Amino acid sequence: MKKMTSLLLAICLFSLMTPCGTALADTVRIGIAQYADHPSLDNCREGFLEGLAMGGYIQGQNLEVDYQNAQGDIGLAAIIANTFVSSGINLVCAIATPMAVIAVTTADGRIPVIYTAVSAPVASELAYADRPFDGNATGTSDQLPVHDQLALIRALQPQAKTIGLLYTIGEINSQVQASLYREAAADYGFEIVESTITTAADIPLALPKLISQVDCISMLTDNTVVQHLDLVLDQTDAAGLPVYGSEIEQVKDGCVAAVGIDYLELGRKTGLIAVRVLQGESADSIPFEVLSEFDLFYNQEVLTRMSLSVPEELLPLLSEVSDAL
Amino acid sequence: MLEMRNIRKIYNPGTVRALCLFEDFNLMVPQGQFVSIVGSNGSGKSSLMNLLCGSILPDAGQIFMDGQDITKMSEHKRLKRIGRIHQNPALGSCSGMSILENMALADNKPKRMNLMPGIDKKQIERYRDLLRPLGLGLENMMNARAGTLSGGQRQALAMVMSVMTPLDFLILDEHTAALDPKTSDIIMELTQRVVREHSLTALMVTHNLRYAIEYGNRLLMLHQGDIVLDVADKDKAATRLEDVLGLFTQISVELGN
Amino acid sequence: MASSLYAFYLALPSTLEQGLIYALLALGVMITYLILDFPDLTVDGSFPLGGAVSTALILQGVSPALALLAATASGMAAGLCTGLIHVKLKIRALFSGIIMMTALYSINLRIAGGSSLLSIPRTSVTLFRNNALVRLLPQDTQILIISLILVVMVKIIIDLMLQTRFGLLLRATGDNEQVVTALARNKGNMKIAGLIIANGLVALCGGVLTQQQRLFEISMGTGAMVLALASVIIGVNSLKRFEWLRPTTKTIIGTLVYKACYSLAISLGLRPGDMKLVTALLFLGILSAWIFKPRRVTHDA
């Protein structure tokens, strides 16, 4: 019994060494729960903090932020959500669909959840199509501009016939996007070939077959695949297969082009929604927002490597992006 | 009645260390006989017991118990009518369970296993009565865990457990070897009494030639899987310790001991 | 410091609820590890199995009780497989459990319809929501009371079972297999029976947990064995001198203590990602402080 007590004491003492701040009276405490570690989601987070600042909530002054990243691990995401909900914070910002679903379910209406980077809120049961939500949650959606992307691919690869999609079988947003692609592809003269994985480890194993069957690959906003884009590019570069991204960061990292979502802007929108909720509006009274403007990005270096080029008439619409580090 | 016919047992067959222990081994033990079995190390004493109980199977031959062929019968089925006391006192009872629980387990042996209460409160006094004659004080320690008992106490408990329910055969596998001389004597007295009271057919493997002479009405000496001495009743009574010792030494010398 | 303890205090009801629900898991592992002396890793697979089955059925509108029954049955089937692999194929206990645990990952994913994450809508009928019993109870205590009733019911059933002829034999099987054989009983069958019961219980816990948190995630089983084992060991070791306490009681208390330590660590500011290290340290401390079980006897030479 003595040993047990001393062991418990030891744990307490050890934990004491980690700083625990005392909350100031008018400080708002926000938890940011990010599902995975990749630039798109990071941009979201940066934008979110900017949005909050624009609404008058500045970190260090009247805002305390606890940022946790689940590294793509659903189990960790659940722990993070539980921790936030039971620590009495004012609001949770959940970045990416799995995190959003877990956060909303765990919070169970007790704390407002503002989500972002959720591609299909209705399909993920984070919003209702025909009426206001009842779970004290709202946010922004990064619905993919599928038609614009297909048009871009057609313009850059006039001869292409098949587009490959690689995504995680368990991700709702990916499943929804894949079906959008399937519906729209025929309009642009494409066929879709799909390959599904369960974990990141499957990516190198699934790619060879997919690469052999398609003329290019188009990225969805699948969290696992986006987080491990480098694994994809390793093989596609070697095979000379173009990969179209879903966001500017991916084009910087080596995708040939993208009709992209500006996640910084998405994040800012999210931050502004959070401001409204913090100031008293009910989350359920705010419908989720989407971006209506998209930018077109291309990476010249990669284009050249793939022996592709941007048609003259499209050049003014596109922004070049370099392999920025 | 126990019978072994044409038993062959080879250890490590097909390897360099192949040892043919039993080749055409035969043994018949009539009802009610108390056999002492002695022999040097490796003579096959323990293997014989294992073959009878079913923990190892013969390569050829048959084993009969009361006329029924049990050669292919699994060990736990055979042990319905065979009790076995091991050399290691810890094997005969459950260390983590109390004396009462151990005895209840033994008492339940012939009963159907179901969800009826495991311990019948009305039997506790009867259990005490079974332990009292041992003179070891166990009847006052019913709730003590078997693991806290001494070697002799555990062997005694094991024996009582074996004969609590109807039994035909008792196999004693060097059951006093791990005990001090005084306790060994007590256990041997107990063995004698138990065998007599329940009219058991018993086989006792022992290293102790004195016990082999003093107890039982048949003496077998094994040597390398063969029976080199087999005396019963009057002949056994007439056999003296020196004779047995002499023969024993002779075969041991042969083996290089 | 004060705010940390206050945070711990605020989280107490939730800690208690979690502790009670996870006690079911610990009780299952108590049966295999403590009573049967069988290190059963199937648990890491049968725990989410129960969760997957229960969630899949609840999403189809099946009643919570039936969903839990199905979950328990699925766990029992898993335990049966482990038992058969071990007894009939003579594969070592540890490996039998690992084989099943690995297979169950794929099976669980299939049961969940290919999704690694399933959430139950707030309007669904579960053990803790939208049913007749829940409506009778005061708002904030619903989960606590229902969990308590469940755990007490299960505990009583296990206690009674361990006192039956079957229960006595089960304990003997884990204590000394030789005795079981000497009693003319089939020790292999006893082991299988124990595995069936334990994994049924574990899967039941998985079902109850997913109904409570309205969430099934494929990796919820990772570390379940460790958590349960730590709970059992904490309970049994620290309460050793209270011999009159039954092992079930000790296990339940151990689970509550474990969850309290966990909650305390988080309240004191440790990050969620550090929790596994805390568990490991706790486990190490407990195990090195005590010699856990008396030496088991193996076969005669």
Q: What value does the mean pLDDT take over residues B154-160?
A: 93
CA-based nearest residue in chain B for residue C188: B76
Contact C165 B108 (CB under 8 A): yes
The DSSP element (H or E) to which B169 belongs, if any, is strand B169-173
Whether the CB-CB separation of C23 and C148 falls below 8 Å is answered with: no
Contact A18 C269 (CB under 8 A): yes
A105 in contact with chain C, both atoms CB, cutoff 8 A = yes
> What CA–CA distance (Å, rounded) separates C155 from C161?
10
Of the candidates A300, A305, A302, A306, the residue with the CA atom closest to the CA atom of residue A320: A300
Number of CB pairs < 8 Å for B and C? Answer: 96
Q: C155 to chain A nearest CA, in Å? A: 25
CB atoms within 10 A of CB A306: 20
Q: What value does the mean pLDDT take over residues A1-5?
A: 58
Which residues of C are less than 8 Å from A15 in CB distance? 264-265, 268-270
pLDDT for the residue numbered B255: 65
Of B95, B109, B147, the CB nearest to C184: B109
Contact C119 A86 (CB under 8 A): no
Q: Which domains are seen in chain C, by residue range?
A: 2-288 (1.10.3470)
Q: C206 to chain A nearest CA, in Å? A: 14
B97-123 confidence digits (pLDDT tens): 999 999 999 999 999 888 899 899 999
CB atoms within 10 A of CB C231: 28
Contact B91 C179 (CB under 8 A): yes
> What CA–CA distance (Å, rounded) separates B218 from B203?
9
**C290 by DSSP, 3-state: which?**
coil
Contacts of B118 (CB under 8 A, 6+ apart): B101, B104, B105, B108, C163, C164, C165, C166, C167, C168
> What CA–CA distance (Å, rounded) separates C39 from C41?
6
Q: B70 to chain C nearest CA, in Å? A: 14
Q: How far is CA A85 from CA A31, A78, A108, C232, in A?
A: 9, 11, 9, 28
Which residues of C are less than 8 Å from B87 in CB distance? 300
**C34 by DSSP, 3-state: which?**
helix
Percent of chain B with pLDDT over 90: 59
Percent of chain A with pLDDT over 90: 49
Query: Token pair 């050399």 is at which residue?
Result: B87
Residues linked to residue A131 through DSSP beta bridges, in sequence order: none
Disruptive mutation site among A1, A2, A5, A7 for chain C (greatest number of C CBs within 10 Å): A7
Residue A124 CA from chain centroid, whole number: 14
Contact B76 C180 (CB under 8 A): yes
Q: What value does the mean pLDDT take over residues A258-273?
A: 91
Residue type, A246: S
Encode B5-22 in three state secondary structure. Answer: EEEEEEECCCCCCCEEEE
Q: Which two tokens stand for residue C147?
A: 């969990």
Contact A74 C116 (CB under 8 A): yes
Q: What is chain C's Cα-based Rg?
A: 19
Which residues of A are less than 8 Å from C278 in CB distance? 11
Residues linked to residue B232 through DSSP beta bridges, in sequence order: B218
> What CA–CA distance (Å, rounded) separates B188 from B145?
24
Residue C78: is it exposed, middle or buried by C-beta count within 10 angstroms (0-12/13-18/19+)?
Answer: buried
**A231 by DSSP, 3-state: which?**
helix
Q: B234 to chain C nearest CA, in Å? A: 34
Residue C81: is it exposed, middle or buried by C-beta count within 10 angstroms (0-12/13-18/19+)?
Answer: buried
Contacts of B186 (CB under 8 A, 6+ apart): B135, B136, B152, B156
CA-based nearest residue in chain C for residue A79: C272
Residue numbers of A between 14 and 33 with CB closer than 8 Å to C: 15-16, 18-23
A79 in contact with chain C, both atoms CB, cutoff 8 A = yes
Which residues of C are less than 8 Å from B83 in CB distance? 182
List chain C pLDDT tens, one digit each, 301 residues: 677 787 788 778 888 999 999 999 999 999 999 999 999 999 999 999 999 999 999 999 999 999 999 999 999 999 999 999 999 999 999 999 999 999 999 999 999 988 888 888 888 888 888 888 888 888 778 889 999 999 999 999 999 999 999 999 999 999 999 999 999 999 999 999 999 999 999 999 999 999 998 999 998 998 899 999 999 999 998 888 888 899 999 999 999 999 998 888 888 878 777 888 888 888 788 777 765 544 455 544 3
Contact A88 C222 (CB under 8 A): no
Q: How far is CA B154 from CA A99, A205, B147, C298, in A?
A: 61, 61, 8, 16
Of the candidates C43, C39, C175, the residue with the CA atom closest to the CA atom of residue C95: C39
> What CA–CA distance (Å, rounded) separates C262 from B8?
62
- Assign A323 a pLDDT band (cuts: 50, 70, 90): low
Contact C215 A198 (CB under 8 A): no
Which of the pair, A83 or C205, is modelled with greater confidence? C205
Flag whether pLDDT at A238 surpasses 50: yes
pTM of the model: 0.86
Is chain C touching chain A, with at least 3 CB–CB pairs below 8 Å? yes
Of the candidates C226, C288, C225, C285, the residue with the CA atom closest to the CA atom of residue A14: C285
**C263 by DSSP, 3-state: which?**
helix
Q: What is the ipTM of this complex?
A: 0.89
Mean pLDDT of chain B: 89
> What CA–CA distance (Å, rounded) separates B46 from C178?
16
Q: Which two tokens stand for residue C255?
A: 């689970």
Question: Alpha helices, DSSP H only, in chain C?
Answer: 2-29, 43-59, 64-87, 93-111, 132-136, 142-163, 165-175, 177-182, 187-213, 224-238, 247-267, 275-289
> What CA–CA distance (Å, rounded) separates A249 from B113?
69
A183-192 confidence digits (pLDDT tens): 999 999 999 9
CA-based nearest residue in chain C for residue A22: C3
Question: Alpha helices, DSSP H only, in A1-59?
Answer: 2-16, 39-54
Whether the CB-CB separation of C61 and C298 falls below 8 Å is answered with: no
Q: B177 to chain C nearest CA, in Å? A: 13
Flag whether pLDDT at B10 surpasses 90: no
> What CA–CA distance (Å, rounded) separates A55 from A270?
11
Which of the pair, C276 or A318, is modelled with greater confidence? C276
Contact A108 C214 (CB under 8 A): yes
Residues linked to residue A194 through DSSP beta bridges, in sequence order: A165
Q: Which two tokens stand for residue C154?
A: 């299960």
Of C172, C182, C301, the CB nearest to B79: C182
Residue type, C166: F
Flag whether pLDDT at A19 surpasses 50: no
DSSP string, B111-168: SPPSSSBSS-GGGHHHHHHHHGGGTSSGGG-TTSBGGGS-HHHHHHHHHHHHHSS--S
Which residues of C are less than 8 Å from B112 in CB distance? 165
Against chain C, the chains showing at least 3 CB pairs within 8 Å are A, B
Contact C222 A75 (CB under 8 A): yes
CB atoms within 10 A of CB A17: 8
Which residues of C are less than 8 Å from B108 in CB distance? 165, 168-169, 183
Flag whether pLDDT at B142 surpasses 90: yes
Contact C297 B95 (CB under 8 A): yes
Residues linked to residue B226 through DSSP beta bridges, in sequence order: B223
Flag whether pLDDT at A75 surpasses 70: yes
Which residues of C are less than 8 Å from A83 in CB distance? 266, 272
Disruptive mutation site among A9, A15, A122, A194 for chain C (greatest number of C CBs within 10 Å): A15
B191-233 confidence digits (pLDDT tens): 999 999 999 999 999 988 889 988 988 999 988 888 888 888 8
Is chain A touching chain B, with at least 3 CB–CB pairs below 8 Å? no
Q: Which two tokens stand for residue A118?
A: 């959720």
A109 in contact with chain C, both atoms CB, cutoff 8 A = yes
Which residues of C are less than 8 Å from A170 in CB distance? 109, 114-117, 218
Flag whether pLDDT at A325 surpasses 80: no
Flag whether pLDDT at A315 surpasses 90: no
> What CA–CA distance (Å, rounded) separates A104 from C119?
10
C30 Rama class: left (phi>0) / alpha (psi -120 to 50) / beta: alpha
Q: Which two tokens stand for residue A150?
A: 């297909």
Least confident interval from A82-91, A282-291, C203-212:
A82-91
Q: B199 to chain C nearest CA, in Å? A: 20
Residue type, C195: L
Whether the CB-CB separation of C98 and C45 falls below 8 Å is answered with: no
Query: Token pair 């990669």 is at which residue?
Result: A302
Disruptive mutation site among C34, C181, C298 for chain B (greatest number of B CBs within 10 Å): C181
Half-sphere exposure of C100 (CA within 13 A, CB side): 32
CA-based nearest residue in chain C for residue A127: C121
Query: What is the phi/psi pair of residue A55, to 5°?
Result: -90, 5
> What CA–CA distance (Å, rounded) separates A51 from A60?
15
Residue type, B19: L
Mean pLDDT of chain A: 87
Contact C273 A102 (CB under 8 A): no
CB atoms within 10 A of CB B147: 17
Q: Which two tokens stand for residue B66?
A: 């009361």
Against chain B, the chains showing at least 3 CB pairs within 8 Å are C
Of the candidates C32, C29, C31, C36, the residue with the CA atom closest to the CA atom of residue C296: C36
For chain A, the residue count is: 325
Of the candidates C145, C147, C155, C173, the residue with the CA atom closest to the CA atom of residue C245: C155
Q: C176 to chain B nearest CA, in Å? A: 6
Of C3, C217, C270, the CB nearest to A15: C270
B11 Rama class: left (phi>0) / alpha (psi -120 to 50) / beta: beta
Whether the CB-CB separation of C54 and C68 falls below 8 Å is answered with: yes
**A163 by DSSP, 3-state: which?**
strand
Residue type, A178: A
Which residues of C are less than 8 Å from B74 in CB distance? 186
> What CA–CA distance (Å, rounded) separates B169 from A37?
72
Which residues of chain B have a Cβ shorter than 8 Å from any chain C Cβ? Answer: 46, 74-77, 79-80, 83-84, 86-88, 90-97, 101-102, 104-106, 108-109, 111-119, 147, 162, 173
pLDDT for the residue numbered C271: 79
> What CA–CA distance (Å, rounded) separates A270 from A283?
12
Whether the CB-CB separation of A273 and A124 falls below 8 Å is answered with: no
CB atoms within 10 A of CB A1: 10
Q: B66 to chain C nearest CA, in Å? A: 18
**A287 by DSSP, 3-state: which?**
coil
pLDDT for the residue numbered A1: 52
pLDDT for the residue numbered C34: 92
> What CA–CA distance (Å, rounded) separates A128 from A288?
10
